[in-house]
Structure 1
Amino acid sequence: MVAMILVTGATGTIGSEVVRQLAARGDKVRALTRDPAGARVPHGVEVVRGDYLDPGSLEAALSGVTAAFLVGVPGPGTRHDADLVAAVRAAGVPRLVKLSAIGTGDPDLGPTASWHVEGERAVRDSGAEWTILRPSSFASNTLSWADAIRAGEPVPNLTGDGPQGVVDPRDVSEVAVRALVEERHAGETYTLTGPETISVPGQAAVLSEILGRPLTARDLSAEEIREYALGWGMGDEAADGLLVATAFVRRGGNAVVTPAVPDILGRPARTYREWARDHKGMFGEA
């Protein structure tokens, strides 16, 4: 039985939901964050400070942990995953679940495909039971459109008509919880998608119907995509990698649907429409 589960990235999109679901199950959870004072977690969850760049903080956070959910910081040249796995290995944590990304290791995807390669390798070589999760594009990524929608402007389209198996983050988190508490997922690498592929214009059409207002999508040029990435705080190298990745999606390279979510959870994966309906208030209802 899992005695203590450590969740890194505990205030992020996936990590916070993993914490919530584990706490709802009654599991003992330790949430790792660089800012414990700002963390909002369910009652009973232990919040600890930890920073990948401070090995001493990781050592303390890993004390007594028997399973860990690993959320690295992707990007060119980062070693966060490897450093974290080294600390986990030293602590003797017997079960690891790593959040990776769809297409990891695929050369056609460009530089972004390498961002999780080292971390995945470190997890596989850790000596622990491991599971790797490679989710497709998150449905929640469209929350970045909220300001444009409220202003009545077209939403930015980086990937043209390229369809993707857009996945609900709640499904990814639920799969992560299963992998953390069930032995049957050891040694598995799961590509996690929604039940269908959908493009940016398709998502905009769904939101238009749900919000009851007209929405359009505007294709961004390569230079606009690069400026968009830099505005997110990406460096030049990461922005250039995003250009290659978005072109890959535009060509249909990420038109992937897998049965992993329903096979693991025993129910259908949520659609983008379901996610949008449940979160429509975050876009500002008409």
Structure 2
Amino acid sequence: MILVTGATGTIGSELVRQLEARGAPVRGMTRKPHDSFVQGDFDDPDSLRKAIDGTDTVFALTAPGPWVPAHDRALVDAAVDSGVRKIVKLSAIGSTDEQMPANWHAAGERAVRESGLTWTILRPAGFASNVLRWLPAIEAGHPIPNQTGDGRHAFVDPRDVAAVAAEVLLSDHHEQTYTLTGPELLSVPDQVAVLSDVLGSPLSVVDVPPEIYAEQLRAAGLDEAVVTVALRGAELIRSGGEETVTDDVERVLGRPAGTFREWARDFFG
């Protein structure tokens, strides 16, 4: 039995679907009550143990935020106490230095590696589906906001992330860390050009300076730690610091990673 935490999110829901399609026994976990999944709260050790009870494999997906290290540790501790055999952690690209400010995943990665369990770590790039946040602007005919200038990133299809997760959960990838990217580097203007072509409608782009982006994030009520991470991530891409492309998706799945255009055609087509 495989426990998938974050089972209603972008990756978790797709992973549950793919595991079920492969005939694997799977149990989804969510923080809020759900008809199809068990309830488990990372801040409630008893609920975690109840969710994990009877499983031997855990997919560790914790919602982004400054609470990630504590939530990862709670999940690892519950998995060890419950006799789980294997854990796969969904991390993020570049999560290597625990001393880097707001690097939420590094401590969780260490906890997984030191757990004594069979482990695999997945570090996906930004999801192709993140462009869905542009839908209000697209529908209103407004320019697409661009916080990263001409900086490029190898956006990954979330279906590929879920497919890799399913494969490593069901086979042997012990002590492996995979950086999951798409096959090409794209800037926001590149992505907008693809969407314009797919939608058959010209879309424009407006640059958003970091100070304006920070004001918008704070106005949206986001925690200051989340604002800091968002700004750091945008600046890293803007400055060319996230131009990483790997073949790890193909290494695991035996096929190339999907392109952003393919994802856009499937979603908007």
TM range (shorter): over 0.9
User: Using the alignment, how far apart are the partners of 2:199 and 2:76 within structure 1?
Assistant: 43
Which residue of structure 1 lines up, in the alignment, with residue 187 of structure 2?
A: 199
Kindly indicate whether the alpha-carbon contact (under 8 Å) linking 2:97 and 2:106 is maintained by their aligned counterparts in 1: no
Amino acid at match of 1:25: R
Q: Give the gaps of 5 or more residues in structure 2.
A: none
Number of the residue aligned with 2:248: 260
Q: Give the AA of the match of 1:34.
A: R
Whole-angstrom distance in 2 between the partners of 1:56 and 1:64: 14
RMSD across aligned C-alpha pairs, in angstroms?
A: 1.7
Give the AA of the match of 1:101: A
Of 98, 101, 104, which aligns to 2:95? 104
C-alpha distance after superposition, 1:180-226 (max 9, x if no partner) = 0101x110010000011111110000000000111111111112211
- Corresponding position of 1:66: 56
Q: Which amino acid in structure 2 is aligned with residue 182 of structure 1?
A: S
Native 8 Å contact 1:51 1:57 kept in 2: yes
* Post-superposition offset of 1:104: 0.7
Match of 1:227 among 209, 215, 221: 215
Deviation at 1:243, TM superposition (A): 1.6
Equivalent in 226, 231, 237 of residue 238 of structure 1: 226
Normalising by structure 1, what TM-score? 0.90
Q: Aligned letter for 1:32?
A: M
TM-aligned CA distance change 1:23 to 1:17, over 3 Å: same
Distance 1:233-1:87 versus aligned 2 partners, 3 A rule:
farther
Q: Name 2:119's counterpart in structure 1.
A: 130
Q: TM-score, normalised by structure 2?
A: 0.95
| Offset of residue 106 of structure 1 | 5.0
1:145 aligns with 2:134: yes
In the TM superposition, what whole-angstrom CA distance separates every residue of 1:143-178 from its partner, at most 9, and x where no partner exists?
Answer: 000010000001111111111011000000000001
Q: Secondary structure at 1:165's aligned position in 2?
A: coil
Query: How many aligned residue pairs are there?
Result: 268
Kindly provide the amino acid, as one letter, of the partner of residue 132 in structure 1: I
**2:4 aligned partner:** 7
1:44 is matched with none
Identity over aligned pairs, percent:
53
Stretches of structure 1 lacking an aligned partner (at least 5 in a row): 40-46, 282-286
Tell me the residue number matched to 1:154.
143
